[in-house]
Amino acid sequence: MELFELTAHELKDLLQNKKASAVEITESVLGRIDSVEGKVGSFITVCKEEALKRAKDIQDKMDKGEATSLLSGIPMALKDNMCTEGIKTTCASKMLNNFIPPYNATVSKKLFQEDTVLVGKLNMDEFAMGGSTENSFFRKTCNPWDLERVPGGSSGGSAACVAAGEAIFSLGSDTGGSIRQPASFCGVVGLKPTYGSVSRYGLVAFASSLDQIGPLTKDVTDCALVMNAICGHDPMDSTSIKTSYPDFTKALVNDVKGMKVGIPKEYIGEGLNSEVRKSVLDAVEVLRKLGAQCEEFSLPITEYAIPAYYIISSAEASSNLARYDGVKYGYRAEKFTDLIDLYKQSRSEGFGAEVKRRIMLGTYALSSGYYDAYYKKALQVRTLIKNGFDEAFSKYDLVLGPTAPSTAYKIGEKMDDPLEMYLGDIFTVSVNIAGLPGLVVTCGFDGNNLPIGLQLIGKPLDESTLLRVGYTFEQNTEFHKQRAKI
């Protein structure tokens, strides 16, 4: 097996036993990028030289016994909406094509402190808006399992690079499913943590009340390791939760006996692809055989989650993206007549169609006369959805369902129908609306050998339960061992 195919915890063992060096691992990953990136297109920026230099420095530190983190020397990549000091952070937009942040996001800083090696910045839907990574200004990313298909989105680059072995792990951001759906499409593990448990400082905002950074990894063990590195209270983010966070590796226990699992009827009904349904129900059987108590229940307002989500996220986005005016940084139109025209031309030329669509939708929803009818209503739905989950969690330890209605679809297939694309978020958005953690692990493959993701939803700050169930599922199945063949 090549080094790039391994997990972080496997590589950690090799590093500790001096069977591989940080430089060798980084070279292996960079070599993999060289050979497959032309086909997959996970990256916007590859930091080859910096990565090699850093790997060397870290190896030196390790030799002196100084770099002792469990992730020391592990090559990783970041979605291109997380700020990296001195390295372009574009959000896959023409608007930020030339933006080099003067500071690091808290997650970047934390991972650098863990002595990981940044190999590059990953492709995504522009400003994290989209479900297929087709809305990038730079390129389309292809699904490593079938290069004619989308990797999902908006963290498509983050999922594809891990599936293709172009990084050992990556970080994505999840506003309505943007970590979990691409994890499902690309057959990797993806965790959207509890809102407020991973700092958003330095994450270029899409919808502030929903955005959350999380890991994409090859297995649940790596997911726990990365979570240990990135979560925690951050004084720079006032929505960051002050609490003592557990050691997530302690949750890696192969046992679900007596655990109560609820399956929302609404999640396995109409609109769900039959192969996906079968895999999810098979997974339920696996857990049941291992001693979990699984039953169906009703999560009534599921059908309103999508409209509420698109109102809230677009409203916040319209405000968050207003600062891109062509004046202070980023793209500026070449021709304009006055200040207002400078704003108009720069924004018209700098933003892509999907971003403009959502800015207009959000501006409309917030405007006086419509606020009560749309935004306020959406907030009311938000409360009802939270209440629905609260009730579920009074009975169940976790909620289980599919991640997406289908497996990865063909590139271009849904591009002309944004509404159809929005419906792909049906099983994921409620989790963001309620601020809950959601973990995706692979639970099967369809007839085209495309991965199917199982979604586990937990109580706030109860990532440990999700990791435990995910880990148990992995230990009793073989799906996570399969690798995309490119």
Residues that bind another protein (CB under 8 A): 81-83, 89, 91, 96, 99, 101-103, 105, 200-205, 207-209, 235-239, 315-316, 318-319, 322-323, 325, 327-329, 339, 343, 363, 366-368, 371, 375
| Active-site residue (options: 72, 154, 279, 464) | 154
Min separation Cβ 124 and another protein, Å: 14
Min separation Cβ 348 and another protein, Å: 14
Residues 360, 114: Cα–Cα separation, whole Å: 41
138: DSSP letter = S
| Residue closest to 171 by CA, chosen among 197, 145, 203 | 203
What string of DSSP letters covers 417-486?
A: -HHHHHHTTTTTHHHHHHT--EEEEEEEE-TTS-EEEEEEEE-TT-HHHHHHHHHHHHHT-SGGG-----
| Residue closest to 201 by CA, chosen among 211, 193, 192 | 211
- Please indicate whether residue 42 is annotated as part of the active site: no
Min separation Cβ 298 and another protein, Å: 30
| Active-site residue (options: 21, 28, 42, 79) | 79
- Looking at the Cβ atoms of 55 and 315, the one nearer to another protein is 315
- Looking at the Cβ atoms of 436 and 450, the one nearer to another protein is 436
- Looking at the Cβ atoms of 128 and 163, the one nearer to another protein is 128
- Looking at the Cβ atoms of 253 and 322, the one nearer to another protein is 322
Residues 16, 13: Cα–Cα separation, whole Å: 5
- Looking at the Cβ atoms of 380 and 476, the one nearer to another protein is 380
260-264 and 398-402 strand pairing: parallel
Number of CB atoms found within 10 A of residue 41's CB: 23
Min separation Cβ 230 and another protein, Å: 15
Residues 406, 271: Cα–Cα separation, whole Å: 9
- Please indicate whether residue 278 is annotated as part of the active site: no
- Please indicate whether residue 279 is annotated as part of the active site: no
Min separation Cβ 368 and another protein, Å: 5
Task: Say which residues have a Cβ less than 8 Å from residue 221's Cβ, sequence separation at least 6.
Answer: 7, 9, 249, 252, 471
Residues 177, 428: Cα–Cα separation, whole Å: 5
Q: Which residues form the catalytic set?
A: 79, 154, 178
